[in-house]
Structure formats: C-alpha cells, structure tokens
Amino acid sequence: MSESKPTVGLIDAGGANLGSVRYALERIGVEVALVRDADELAACQRVILPGVGAAAEGMARLHSQGLVEPLRQLDKPLLGICLGMQLLYEHSEEGNVDALGLLPGVVRRLHPAVGIRVPHMGWNKLLALRESPLLEGIAAGASAYFVHSYAAPVSSHTVAVSHHGGLFTAMVQHGLYCGAQFHPERSAGPGEQLLRNFLAMDFS
C-alpha cells in the first residue's frame, strides 16, 4: 500500500455514531467519504460500517440504499463497528433477521444474571486469543468502551474476546473482513490504535 492514507468510505446506515466515527478518523488524518449508495462504495479503498440500533432496521437501511449485494461482493477491506460488526454475520436474533453473511455465525442476545446487566454498557477488558495486525500496539488487558445487548459467538476468526455473563467476540478478522464490537471512537488510545491498525494492514 502507498504511504498516503487510503480514502475510507464510511457507510451512512443511520447509526447515531456516524459523526463520532468520522471525527475519530479525521483526527488521525484520514480522508473520509460518506457512502450512501453502491457507486460511492465503489470509489473507496477501505470501508467502515458503523452502527447503533437494531439489526433489522440496520439491514433495512442497507437494503433501501442498494448496498446489501455490493457489500456481500466487496473485495476491499471492511471494518464493522458495534452493530456494523454484528451485521457482518449470517443472522441476528435481534429481529430474527438475515445479515450480510460475510462471517459465519449467529449473533445472540446477552443473558442477564446476578450482577450482569443488559445492555452491556461501559468499559471492559480485551483478551487476545490469537495474533492479528488489528492488535498491534494495543496493550494486553487494555479496556474498550461497549454499548450492546447482542454479541457474536467466539470462533476461529475471533481475535479478542471480552466477558459479560460469558465470553463474546470483541474483535474479529476473517480475510478482508474485520470487526470491533466496542466503540473505537469512544475507547481512547486503544480505539484510535485499532483504527490506525485497520488502515495500515496489508490485506494482499
């Protein structure tokens, strides 16, 4: 990859975190282009799918923008954030909706228990499960900021997990497809480093 920063397409899927993710990227010197249709998607070198809200509404928005099939056929690096990461999977229990199917697995609701509240909201530690460029420069046991009620299962593609009533995937990578269940734009140093890592990764 060249030394210049890639043009990052930030998909406007109606998530409330769109502006804060854009600001986090611009703060580290990244050229950001908002993506609302397939033509704008095709012009980007890397793509980020942020999201806050419900899976069914998120998928409905992507369908209405004509982005579902282009995303399923995407041959560029893609990072999903929070709901955006969940939509990379095959299916979500939230609304019983089929998602993009770029990652295998079903996103399921977190289970409340004594001392365990759902939604999971606040800072929680990341536990690395395997080596990945996504973790470069992120200290072992670093904390990140989460806000979610559903989570992806732990699999061979899981890079790091967190624990809230059980282990769930906090970071994932499978080929070109990456995800963070936490909010990097609200996770201080570790969040900024994750964004930098995604932009610097060699996917060739």
What residues are annotated to the active site? 82, 183, 185
**CA dist., res. 44 & res. 47, Å (int):** 7
Q: How many residues are there in the chain? A: 204
Strand partners, 174: 177
Number of Cβ within a 10 Å radius of residue 91: 16
Is residue 177 within 8 Å of 85, Cβ to Cβ? no
Angle in degrees, 0-180, between the axes of helices 18-27 and 188-200, rounded to the nearest 10: 70
**CA dist., res. 81 & res. 51, Å (int):** 6
Q: What is the CA radius of gyration of the chain?
A: 16
Number of Cβ within a 10 Å radius of residue 204: 4
* Dihedral sign for Cα atoms in the order 6, 100, 175, 189: positive
